[in-house]
């Protein structure tokens, strides 16, 4: 099993190779969604992203960035780390979760 969840390959909790299971494995990892969320604000350096992610450890941030780059969601260029078009599309899908979370918090 690959350390980076990829469609068509077995992942944690599923040997089916279904793309959705690879996505669930990837996004279920600590800070994976948080990194995507923070990069939606725009490109940034490693240290800027670490600060945006509430001081995530450098080791964990490096691991998540490697995984997100390997899966085509994040790229690194002169301006720093940024979401790719696939990463932007993923953000558009998870953004409603942020809106729902605000409603949930207000309801409690």
CATH among 1.10.10.10, 1.20.1560.10, 2.40.50.140, 1.10.150.20 for 31-107: 1.10.10.10
pLDDT of residue 23: 96
Instruction: Answer yes or no: are the C-beta atoms of 9 and 1 closer than 8 Å.
Output: yes
- pTM value is 0.92
Instruction: Answer yes or no: are the C-beta atoms of 20 and 5 closer than 8 Å.
Output: no
CB atoms < 10 A from the CB of 17, how many?
A: 13
Determine the 3-state secondary structure of 46 from DSSP. Answer: helix
- Residue 88 burial (10 A CB sphere; 0-12, 13-18, 19+): middle
> Average per-residue pLDDT in the chain?
95
Query: What whole-number distance in Å separates Cα of residue 50 and Cα of residue 16?
Result: 34
Percent of the chain with pLDDT over 90: 93
Instruction: Answer yes or no: are the C-beta atoms of 76 and 70 closer than 8 Å.
Output: no
- pLDDT single digits (tens) 32-75: 999 999 999 999 999 999 999 998 999 999 999 999 999 999 99
Domain boundaries, the chain: 1-30, 31-107
């Amino acid at each position: 099993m690959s350390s980076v969840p990829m469609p068509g390959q077995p992942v944690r909790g599923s040997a089916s190779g279904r793309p959705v299971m690879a996505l669930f494995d990837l996004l279920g990892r600590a800070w994976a969604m948080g990194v995507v969320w923070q990069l939606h604000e725009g490109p940034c350096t490693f240290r800027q992203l670490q600060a945006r992610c509430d001081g995530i450890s450098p080791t964990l941030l490096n691991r998540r960035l490697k995984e997100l780059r390997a899966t085509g969601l994040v790229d690194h260029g002169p301006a720093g780390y940024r979401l790719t078009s696939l990463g932007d599309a993923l953000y558009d899908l998870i953004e409603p979760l942020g809106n729902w979370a605000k409603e949930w918090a207000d309801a409690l």
